[in-house]
Protein backbone atom coordinates (compact mmCIF):
# COMPACT_ATOMS: atom_id res chain seq x y z
CA UNK A 1 0.00 0.00 0.00
CA UNK A 2 1.28 3.46 -0.93
CA UNK A 3 1.19 6.15 1.78
CA UNK A 4 1.70 9.86 1.27
CA UNK A 5 0.15 13.04 -0.08
CA UNK A 6 -0.03 13.90 -3.77
CA UNK A 7 -1.36 16.99 -5.51
CA UNK A 8 -3.72 16.20 -8.37
CA UNK A 9 -4.63 18.78 -11.00
CA UNK A 10 -8.43 18.60 -11.16
CA UNK A 11 -9.98 19.57 -14.46
CA UNK A 12 -13.52 20.98 -14.86
CA UNK A 13 -16.32 18.43 -15.02
CA UNK A 14 -14.83 16.08 -12.43
CA UNK A 15 -15.87 15.92 -8.82
CA UNK A 16 -13.34 15.42 -6.05
CA UNK A 17 -14.91 11.99 -5.56
CA UNK A 18 -14.27 11.20 -9.26
CA UNK A 19 -10.57 11.95 -8.74
CA UNK A 20 -10.40 9.63 -5.70
CA UNK A 21 -12.28 6.87 -7.55
CA UNK A 22 -9.91 7.13 -10.51
CA UNK A 23 -6.87 6.94 -8.22
CA UNK A 24 -8.31 3.90 -6.43
CA UNK A 25 -8.49 2.15 -9.79
CA UNK A 26 -5.01 3.21 -10.90
CA UNK A 27 -3.28 2.44 -7.60
CA UNK A 28 -5.41 -0.61 -6.72
CA UNK A 29 -5.95 0.56 -3.16
CA UNK A 30 -9.00 1.63 -1.23
CA UNK A 31 -7.49 3.87 1.47
CA UNK A 32 -7.53 7.22 -0.37
CA UNK A 33 -9.11 10.53 0.63
CA UNK A 34 -9.04 14.15 -0.47
CA UNK A 35 -8.51 17.35 1.48
CA UNK A 36 -11.56 19.48 0.78
CA UNK A 37 -14.13 19.27 -1.97
CA UNK A 38 -13.73 21.36 -5.10
CA UNK A 39 -16.76 22.32 -7.18
CA UNK A 40 -17.15 20.09 -10.25
CA UNK A 41 -16.48 23.13 -12.44
CA UNK A 42 -13.47 24.28 -10.41
CA UNK A 43 -10.00 23.85 -11.81
CA UNK A 44 -7.06 23.48 -9.50
CA UNK A 45 -4.95 21.42 -7.18
CA UNK A 46 -6.73 18.79 -5.09
CA UNK A 47 -4.43 17.36 -2.38
CA UNK A 48 -5.07 13.63 -2.04
CA UNK A 49 -3.95 11.44 0.88
CA UNK A 50 -2.96 7.83 0.36
CA UNK A 51 -2.77 4.96 2.86
CA UNK A 52 -1.65 5.95 6.35
CA UNK A 53 -1.60 9.62 5.30
CA UNK A 54 -5.42 9.63 5.12
CA UNK A 55 -5.29 10.47 8.84
CA UNK A 56 -4.05 13.91 7.72
CA UNK A 57 -7.13 14.67 5.61
CA UNK A 58 -9.27 16.14 8.39
CA UNK A 59 -6.34 17.98 9.96
CA UNK A 60 -5.05 19.58 6.78
CA UNK A 61 -8.39 20.35 5.12
CA UNK A 62 -9.12 22.90 7.84
CA UNK A 63 -5.93 24.87 7.12
CA UNK A 64 -5.72 28.16 5.22
CA UNK A 65 -6.02 27.96 1.43
CA UNK A 66 -5.24 30.16 -1.53
CA UNK A 67 -7.67 30.64 -4.40
CA UNK A 68 -7.48 32.36 -7.76
CA UNK A 69 -10.71 33.52 -9.34
CA UNK A 70 -12.16 35.76 -12.01
CA UNK A 71 -15.14 37.88 -10.98
CA UNK A 72 -17.86 38.73 -13.49
CA UNK A 73 -19.59 41.86 -12.21
CA UNK A 74 -23.19 42.73 -13.01
CA UNK A 75 -24.52 39.22 -13.58
CA UNK A 76 -26.49 37.25 -11.01
CA UNK A 77 -27.27 33.56 -11.56
CA UNK A 78 -29.41 31.06 -9.72
CA UNK A 79 -26.29 29.05 -8.80
CA UNK A 80 -24.09 32.04 -7.85
CA UNK A 81 -21.54 31.00 -10.49
CA UNK A 82 -21.26 31.14 -14.27
CA UNK A 83 -22.90 27.72 -14.78
CA UNK A 84 -26.35 28.89 -13.67
CA UNK A 85 -29.22 30.65 -15.37
CA UNK A 86 -28.99 34.44 -15.36
CA UNK A 87 -31.64 35.86 -13.01
CA UNK A 88 -30.50 39.49 -12.97
CA UNK A 89 -28.27 41.48 -15.30
CA UNK A 90 -26.90 45.00 -14.83
CA UNK A 91 -27.39 47.32 -17.77
CA UNK A 92 -24.48 48.55 -19.86
CA UNK A 93 -25.11 52.01 -18.40
CA UNK A 94 -24.80 50.68 -14.86
CA UNK A 95 -21.57 48.86 -15.68
CA UNK A 96 -20.16 51.91 -17.47
CA UNK A 97 -20.60 53.91 -14.24
CA UNK A 98 -18.29 51.53 -12.34
CA UNK A 99 -14.80 52.79 -11.72
CA UNK A 100 -11.74 50.68 -11.09
CA UNK A 101 -11.29 52.52 -7.79
CA UNK A 102 -14.81 51.52 -6.63
CA UNK A 103 -14.18 47.92 -7.63
CA UNK A 104 -10.81 47.90 -5.85
CA UNK A 105 -12.30 49.33 -2.62
CA UNK A 106 -15.26 46.93 -2.69
CA UNK A 107 -13.14 43.84 -3.28
CA UNK A 108 -10.66 44.87 -0.57
CA UNK A 109 -13.57 45.41 1.88
CA UNK A 110 -13.89 41.61 2.10
CA UNK A 111 -10.54 41.28 3.85
CA UNK A 112 -11.04 40.12 7.43
CA UNK A 113 -13.78 38.13 9.14
CA UNK A 114 -17.32 38.10 7.86
CA UNK A 115 -20.38 35.88 8.06
CA UNK A 116 -21.12 33.87 4.93
CA UNK A 117 -24.25 31.85 4.24
CA UNK A 118 -23.14 28.91 2.08
CA UNK A 119 -24.84 28.92 -1.33
CA UNK A 120 -27.29 26.14 -2.15
CA UNK A 121 -25.07 25.16 -5.06
CA UNK A 122 -22.15 23.99 -2.95
CA UNK A 123 -20.74 20.64 -1.91
CA UNK A 124 -21.40 21.39 1.77
CA UNK A 125 -23.48 18.67 3.40
CA UNK A 126 -26.57 19.26 5.52
CA UNK A 127 -28.02 16.18 7.22
CA UNK A 128 -25.76 13.99 5.06
CA UNK A 129 -26.93 15.47 1.73
CA UNK A 130 -24.94 17.81 -0.50
CA UNK A 131 -26.57 21.21 -0.86
CA UNK A 132 -26.03 21.15 -4.64
CA UNK A 133 -27.94 17.85 -4.92
CA UNK A 134 -30.82 19.30 -2.92
CA UNK A 135 -30.78 22.47 -5.04
CA UNK A 136 -30.92 20.46 -8.28
CA UNK A 137 -33.96 18.66 -6.85
CA UNK A 138 -35.61 22.04 -6.24
CA UNK A 139 -35.23 21.84 -2.47
CA UNK A 140 -33.87 24.79 -0.53
CA UNK A 141 -32.85 24.33 3.09
CA UNK A 142 -31.86 26.80 5.75
CA UNK A 143 -28.10 27.26 5.99
CA UNK A 144 -26.37 28.72 9.00
CA UNK A 145 -23.92 31.54 8.44
CA UNK A 146 -20.30 30.60 8.99
CA UNK A 147 -17.43 32.86 9.86
CA UNK A 148 -15.04 33.18 6.94
CA UNK A 149 -11.70 34.95 7.07
CA UNK A 150 -9.93 36.41 4.08
CA UNK A 151 -6.34 37.27 4.91
CA UNK A 152 -5.52 39.10 1.71
CA UNK A 153 -6.76 39.75 -1.81
CA UNK A 154 -4.58 40.65 -4.75
CA UNK A 155 -6.22 42.09 -7.84
CA UNK A 156 -4.14 41.08 -10.84
CA UNK A 157 -6.19 42.72 -13.57
CA UNK A 158 -9.36 44.76 -14.02
CA UNK A 159 -11.03 44.61 -17.42
CA UNK A 160 -14.62 45.49 -16.49
CA UNK A 161 -16.90 43.68 -16.07
CA UNK A 162 -14.15 41.13 -15.32
CA UNK A 163 -11.88 41.40 -12.28
Q: Which residues are catalytic?
A: 39
Identify whether the C-beta of residue 61 lies closer than 8 Å to the C-beta of residue 16: no
DSSP letters spanning 30-43 = S-EEESSPPPTT--
Q: Which helix (H) or strand (E) holds 32?
A: strand 32-34
Distance of CA 105 to the CA centre of its chain: 23
Secondary structure (3-state) at 71: coil
Distance, in Å, from the CA atom of 123 to the CA atom of 130, rounded to the nearest integer, reads: 5
Amino acid sequence: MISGVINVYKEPGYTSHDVVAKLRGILKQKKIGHMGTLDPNAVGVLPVCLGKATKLCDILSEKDKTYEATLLLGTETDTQDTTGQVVNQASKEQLDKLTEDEVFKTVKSYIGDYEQIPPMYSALKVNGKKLCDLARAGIEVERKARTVKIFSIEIEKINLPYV
